Structures are given as C-alpha cells and as structure tokens.
Amino acid sequence: MTIGEPELGQEKPATTTTKGSAYRRIVDWFWRGPALAKARREYPELGERAAMFAQRARASADLAQNMLASAEPGEVNAEGSACETYRQSSYWTLCALQAQSQPELEPEAERIWDSLDEALLVAAASSEERAQRLGNALRTGSFVYFADLPPAEQQASLAELRKLAHALLATLAKRATVLDAIYLQRAWRVALLGLLALGVVVSPAFVKKALEARSELLAGKPWRASSKFEAGCTSPAQQCTEHPNYFFHTVEEPSPWLEFDLGSDKKISKVRVDNRIDCCGERANPIVIEVSADQKHWQRAARHEGVFTSWEAQFTPVHGRYLRVRLLKQNFLHLSAVRAY
C-alpha cells in the first residue's frame, strides 16, 4: 500500500467546501448566472431565418388587430380578412419554431401544419368538433373561404384563430419571457443586497444617534440665562419658529452664561454646543462648560478656544445637578443648541 492511501474499507475523507465555492454560490444566487445559462440553452436565440419568420408572424397578428380596430361595427369583410391574417400569423410562427432546429427550412404548408401541437389546437377551440373544423380551416383557408362563411361561423372562427395565433406567438416569445423573469429576479436580489449593504453602513449611525437620544440629559430640562437682550425661546425649549438661529440671547456683559437644571445628580461625560446659525459665531470664544451640585461651587469640565460651528467636548465623567456654559470675556452670548450626555 502506498503511503498516504486509505486502507481497504476506509472511506476517503469528504472534500470540504471551500470558501471560494461558497462565495461562488452566493454570487450565483444574486446574479442568477446558472439560471440564465440554463434558460439560454433551453430557449436558444432565433437564428436569422427563424427571426424573419417570427417578424412575419407578429406583423400578421398586428395587421389583423388593426383591421378589426378600424372596421365599422358588423363589417363582414373585415372579420373575414382578419381570420385569414390570423391564420397566416399562425403559419409563420410555426415556420419560425421549425427553423430554430432546421435553419435551412423551406416552408411547405402540409409539413408546417403537421408540426402544430394538437393541445394548442384543442385549447383554441370550444370542442373536439370545433378543433377538427379549425384544423381544416388552417390547412385550406383563404380570404375567400373566410369571407364566404355565415356571420356566426365567421365570428366563431375569428375568435379561435386569434386565440391560436396569440398562443403560438407566446410560445415563440418564451425565451424573452423566461429571460425577463430571471433579469427581474436578479434586479430584486441585487437591490436587496444593496439595501443590506446600506443597512450595514447606515445602521451604526442610526444606533449611535438613537442611543445618544436616549442618554441625552438636557432634553426638556429648564434653563435660564444670565440676562436677556431680546426674545428667544421659552424654557425648556431649545427650538422655536420665532427664533430659529438661537434659542437665547444675553446682553453684552462680563462672562455671560446659560445654566440648566437637570433635576437631580447626573453623571456627565460629553457636551455638544451648537453655535448661533446665522452670524456672530466669533462671540462665543473662549467658552467653558462647568458643573455644580449646589449652584455655588462650580467645577470646570471642558474649555474651548476658537470660532466653532459645533463643539463636542468629551471629558472624564463628572457629577452634578446643574450644567453651565459660560463665556470667558465680556460680550453677548447666544447659542442654537446645547446637548449633554
């Protein structure tokens, strides 16, 4: 026995599925490659000669429909002509189906009509007797034949010939129908993949925002400013239609401030300050964040220097009931939002 060969009666170890093959299956499921390849094998594209016959078939069916649409109600000649034109549509469709496997096909009426599936003939007629009569009409019909039929028979023949022509054209269009369905599946699955990818990218941001919203400490908490220069929002609102650019505005004074009452002792580790939106952002510089338990003794948690649009300060957690934003110079103080976490 050669070293490395399994002993008699010992099965060879099963080949494990590689990551590559698993990846390939996932790609195939989304892209529908094998399904497309199978459909193209089962429903080959029409060759040049078959496509020519198919074009004649569709043109004949369209002509019959136009004849009926433009005819006056009860016009016998139009219905007789439409019967013959639907018959020709069926004939050319059968030629196209035959030419798929016989590209050099020369149409011979008897052989072409012999290729018609009896099931389609029966489905188009209302009874076996009508199916036999329809088969005879297909083989021997003409404009004159259908025009000479009694009105009731002419209308019955028209309905059957139209139904048969449409059924045969649907068979001819099977390739396009199947491929379109697979392409639609692929579009939906790729769109699903895109949504999943978008969810992977966007979800963390939504989760973070949701968690921040739940842990936000100043929402609905009352606030007061060191002074009031002009009307702003009414505490505890930090947004109002009357003043969309800031929610409070102090007079020009030494070290103006804005103070929040959290209601009880809270642990604070992050504060975000949004500056006034429309102008004058340089006024809020330098600025500090302070925390107190009794409104008398204040602990500085963060300081910022420089003009800002939004300042997010993260710091070692501090405890307190009151939070204050204070300007370290004489000026006006006005902000559009303050959030604490």
Other Cβ atoms within 10 Å of 327 Cβ, number: 22
Confidence at residue 193, expressed as pLDDT on a 0 to 100 scale: 82
pLDDT at position 4, please? 45
Q: Burial code of 213-251, b = ≥16 C-beta within 10 A, e = fewer?
A: eeeebbeebebebbeebeebbeeeebeeeebeebbbbbe
- Predicted pLDDT at 122: 92
H-run or E-run covering 45? none
Residue 215: per-residue pLDDT: 74
Query: Locate tokens 């580790």: which residue?
Result: 269
Instruction: Answer yes or no: are the C-beta atoms of 245 and 336 closer than 8 Å.
Output: yes
pLDDT at 17: 52
What contacts 250, CB < 8 A, 6 or more positions away?
225, 226, 227, 228, 229, 256, 257, 258, 332, 333, 334
Read off the amino acid at residue 328. L
Residue 243 CA from chain centroid, whole number = 40
- pLDDT value for 27: 81
Give domain limits for the chain.
Answer: 22-176, 223-340
CATH of 223-340, one of 2.60.120.260, 3.40.630.10, 3.40.50.300, 3.60.21.10: 2.60.120.260
Alpha helices in the chain (DSSP H): 19-31, 33-42, 48-70, 76-101, 109-114, 118-124, 128-140, 143-147, 151-172, 174-215
C-alpha–C-alpha distance, residues 140 and 135, integer Å:
9
pTM of the model: 0.50
CB-side neighbour CA atoms (13 Å) of 320: 26
Fold agreement between 22-176 and 223-340:
no
Residue by residue, pLDDT tens for the chain (341 residues) are 444 444 555 555 544 455 668 888 888 888 888 888 888 888 788 888 999 999 999 999 999 999 888 877 655 578 999 999 999 999 999 999 998 878 777 778 888 999 999 999 999 998 889 999 999 999 999 999 999 999 899 999 999 999 999 999 998 888 878 888 888 988 898 888 888 888 777 666 665 666 566 679 999 999 999 999 987 899 999 999 989 999 999 999 999 999 999 999 999 999 999 999 999 999 999 999 999 999 999 999 999 999 999 999 999 999 999 999 999 999 999 999 999 99
Three-state secondary-structure class, residue 89 = helix
| 22-176 has CATH 2.60.40 classification | no
Q: What pLDDT score does 30 carry? A: 80
Residues 6+ apart with CB under 8 A from 204: none
Bridge partner residues of 289 (DSSP): 302, 325
CA 62 remoteness from chain centre? 35
CA distance 68 to 89: 15
pLDDT at 145: 92
